[in-house]
Structure 1
Amino acid sequence: MHDVLLVEDDELIRETTQLILEQRGYRVRTAADGLTGLALFRERHPDVAVLDIMLPGLNGVSLAGRIREESRVPVLLISARNDPVDVVMGLEAGADDYVTKPFDGPVLVARIRSLLRRVTPAEQPTQGPRLRFGDLVFCPDSLAVERDGKPLTLTATELKLLSEFAAAPGTVLSRDLLLERVWDYAWSGDTRVVDVHVQRLRAKIGRVRIETVRGFGYKLRP
């Protein structure tokens, strides 16, 4: 049974969402404001965090950023605002996905399942083949990543992206292809979600390691 942290200040939405998730086998802890949500996250160590953006005390974007500083736990933002700027801000803060209100219960559950499928243990023994790309070393089996001999901590989404690039170094991967393979569904909106996560991955593995091919997508330099 997976633990879900749900932080939502609207009582009706909070209780309805909690019921939907519990009916599908999740253990749900709830909070009505950002500061309480942060304390609950630190106390309970959930498997995934579902955060409303407009929260009192500490808004959802800031809360996502605080969680990302401390943990690799997947973060899903929910909001009534669907402006691409809001989506990008949320993703840049550290969220892994973004769902707009009103949302269907099955859609939310599917997004959570998708995030949980991409979660890997923080520490795994290095095994299997080790792929080297300049100063970057990646083990596809254990998902261990090193740069200049030092281990890197990547989020689940960043690891999935790196796996796709490492499987075909030098090959241009389109944004649509990455959306399908990494997010497990077609992004119903702006493909800048890929750009945001690629930029975050670049910041960790080296900005020159992933090359932008204008008009097509991205490729990993061998």
Structure 2
Amino acid sequence: MIRVLLVDDDQELTALLSEYLEREGFAATAVHSGEEGEVQALSSRYSIVVLDVMLPRLSGIEVLRRIRARSQVPVVLLTARGDNIDRITGLELGADDYVPKPSSPGELVARLRAIMRRVNPAPDQTATEAIKTGQLVLWPGKRQALWQGNELGLTSTEFSLLEELARCAGQVVSKQDLSLNALGCPLTRYDRRIDVHISSIRQKLGPRPDAKAWIQSVRGLGYLLIAE
């Protein structure tokens, strides 16, 4: 069973979401402060965390920063509708996705399931062989990545995007294909999720010897992972 940690000071909302999640087959636990959310998220008891950005005292963004310093547990942010600054900041800090508030419980469930499918693919979808391109080695079944011989710390979403690019190394992959194949949802207008995640992956890979990025943007088309 997928164990979901809800971190939100709105107790009425978390009660509603918990009830809905449990009807959908999840096990839900709610806490109502950033401090307790941090402790519980780092306890290794949960499969995924749903974290409200607008928490009193310790903000959701700071909680996310502290979680990412010690854990790669998947995190979905609850953000105010239209608040692009918090969304982009959260993605840059390693959030896997965000859901605007107010939103339907069904949308949250769909996002949670999409992330968990990426983290725990079905046995017949798990690639047992490594994907190798240049100095990059990915093991999709273990969700493990090596870059230049060293462990590459990626969030679940970053791993899925890099895996899709690595499978097509040397070829341009459209943003729509990345969204469908790596994120499990169609690309929507003005959606910057992919751009922010790619920017984070670039930072982790570092620059090429010529100071250019290993992942190139191809204007109007998509992204290309240089195969060397």
Shared topology, TM-score over 0.5?
Answer: yes
Show the counterpart of 1:136: 136
Structure 2 residue 196 is the aligned partner of structure 1 residue 196:
yes
Structure 2 residue 216 is the aligned partner of structure 1 residue 211:
yes
Show the counterpart of 2:168: 168
- Alpha-carbon distance in 2 for matches of 1:18, 1:5: 9
- Alpha-carbon distance in 1 for matches of 2:176, 2:131: 28
Q: What's the CA shift for 1:114?
A: 0.7
Show the counterpart of 2:148: 148
Superposed counterparts of 1:1-222, under 5 Å: 1-43=1-43, 45-119=45-119, 128-133=129-134, 135-140=135-140, 142-207=142-207, 208-222=213-227
- Alpha-carbon distance in 1 for matches of 2:216, 2:120: 26
- Alpha-carbon distance in 1 for matches of 2:39, 2:196: 28
Q: SS of 2:170's equivalent?
A: coil
Indicate conservation of the 8 Å contact 2:21/2:109, yes or no.
Answer: yes
Q: What's the CA shift for 1:120?
A: 5.1
Q: SS of 1:78's equivalent?
A: strand
Q: What's the CA shift for 1:77?
A: 0.6
Q: What's the CA shift for 1:42?
A: 2.5
Runs of 4+ in 1 over 6 A off after TM superposition: none
Offset from partner CA, 1:85-116 (integer Å, 9 cap, x none): 23211211221111111211211111101111
Amino acid at match of 2:42: R
- Alpha-carbon distance in 2 for matches of 1:186, 1:35: 35
Q: What's the CA shift for 1:206?
A: 2.9
Amino acid at match of 1:71: S
- Percent identity of paired positions between Structure 1 and Structure 2: 38
- Alpha-carbon distance in 2 for matches of 1:140, 1:40: 27
Q: What's the CA shift for 1:130?
A: 4.7
Q: What's the CA shift for 1:141?
A: 5.1
Indicate conservation of the 8 Å contact 2:94/2:155, yes or no.
Answer: no
* Unaligned residue ranges in structure 2 (runs of 5+): 122-126, 208-212
Q: How does the TM-score come out when normalised to structure 2?
A: 0.87
Q: What's the CA shift for 1:84?
A: 2.4
- Alpha-carbon distance in 2 for matches of 1:27, 1:127: 30
Q: How does the TM-score come out when normalised to structure 1?
A: 0.89
- Alpha-carbon distance in 2 for matches of 1:32, 1:193: 27
Indicate conservation of the 8 Å contact 2:79/2:87, yes or no.
Answer: no
- Alpha-carbon distance in 2 for matches of 1:129, 1:37: 35
Instruction: Let me know the Cα RMSD of the aligned residues.
Output: 2.1
- Alpha-carbon distance in 1 for matches of 2:139, 2:160: 12
- Alpha-carbon distance in 1 for matches of 2:60, 2:141: 34
Q: What's the CA shift for 1:62?
A: 1.4
